[in-house]
Structures are given as structure tokens and as C-alpha cells.
Chain A
């Protein structure tokens, strides 16, 4: 059974840092591009970042560029999102998502909540 399980969310002060993890299982993790997509409370979905299967290519939304870093450890089947200089507007549920190879998101984790507040 395919699974994506996020962890690492929590409460952090503005300007702080956090690292999210996503443990993948049930598919050939290294063969897939992976994404992070976030959803602020009561709001819509927003694409955050993407990484190629071998980690050689990464892209970011302008809203997080320079503050967030996506990475992966294919030996551990784990995706990461390193978040620095966090702002209140980064408060959201962060979903780990598999790329569907047709410009879509074909499998989603359950998400982890990040709250940025003093």
C-alpha cells in the first residue's frame, strides 16, 4: 500500500526554523518527482516546491524562495522541507505530494500543521 507520512510540524515563533519530513513507502520513491503543497487554515491549496527524483533539480514558489529548501534522501525514502525565517503567513498544513508524471499531483499525504506565532 502506498503511503506518504509527514512529520515535524508544530508551533514556531516568527523568524524561527523548522524541518518537515515525509516518509514514503509502497512505491519506488527515487523514480518520482516530489512536491510540497500547503493549505492555510480555511484557505485553498498553494504549491510550494518541487524536487526531481535524484535531487538534482529543485524549484520554489516566489513566496518561499530563499527561505525554504527542499531535499530528499532516497536511501531513507524520505522527503524534507527545511523552513527558515518563518512568517505568520507560512502558517498552514503542509502536504507531501507525489508527482503524477502528467503535470498533476497523484498521491497526497495527510499533512502536518505548521503554526508560526509568538
Chain B
């Protein structure tokens, strides 16, 4: 069981928007802006999409946006494209004694 909770799957048609939630606790998501999101297409390595909740690394389209409210972070993808398919993972730095970083269980995005 992952430390952060994500929905197992979401889907949308090309051009639509989808939002993926990521729920943690006061010790991780709720304690700071140290939340990041990763995209992992099938059979490939993860790629950083957002860091510090809403900042996009160079090369990530503005269609990807993030937010945080309390113990829940969210990733929104607008203008869905076929290349957006794959698994999305949230991650948070944590003050837990068992691990410095925790991840969500992953959400599979299907573009219909």
C-alpha cells in the first residue's frame, strides 16, 4: 500500500481536461510545497512533469498544471493528447521516520 493515495485510472478524449488527485497527510503533502509529479509511458523511465506543486521544468507544456489544498495535491492536464497516455505518479518529501520521500500508487491515464 502506497503512502499517497491516487485514483487507479482516469480517462478523457483528445482536447478534454483531466485532473488526478493525490492525497497524503500532514507529514508529507500537508507540510510543504515539496510535491512533484512524474509521467511514465509504458516501458520507459519516469519523467519529471511538475515540481514544488506547480512549477514546470523546461520542456514541459503549459497544458500541465498543479495545485495543492491541505493534504491533497492535484495534477491537471488540459487539451489532452495521445502522447499524454501512461502512468502518473505524485511524490512528496516527508518528515516520516521510515522514508524521506513517498510516492502515490500511480494513476493510469487513457486517452480515448
Contact = CB atoms under 8 A, between A and B. Distances in A.
Interface residues of B, number: 26
Interface string A77-117: 00000000000000000010000101111111111000000
Nearest to A96: B45
Contact of A44 (B48, B51, B93, B104): B104
Q: Which of B45, B46, B52, B98 has the most CB of A within 10 A?
A: B45
A106 B51 contact: yes
Interface residues of A, number: 21
Contacts of A47: 91, 99-103
A104 B47 CA distance: 11
Nearest to B1: A44
Nearest to B33: A103
A59 interface: yes
Interface string B68-112: 000000000000000000000101010001111111111000000
Given A47-B103, A61-B99, A103-B36, 19 more contacts: A44-B104, A45-B106, A47-B101, A59-B100, A62-B99, A95-B45, A100-B48, A100-B51, A102-B52, A103-B52, A103-B93, A104-B36, A104-B48, A104-B52, A105-B36, A105-B46, A106-B48, A109-B45, A110-B45
Interface of A: 44-47, 50, 59, 61-63, 95, 100, 102-111
23 contacts: A44-B104, A44-B106, A45-B46, A45-B89, A47-B91, A50-B100, A61-B98, A62-B97, A62-B99, A63-B98, A95-B46, A103-B34, A103-B51, A104-B34, A105-B36, A105-B38, A105-B46, A105-B48, A106-B48, A106-B51, A106-B57, A109-B45, A110-B45
Interface of B: 2, 34, 36, 38, 44-48, 51-52, 55, 57, 89, 91, 93, 97-106
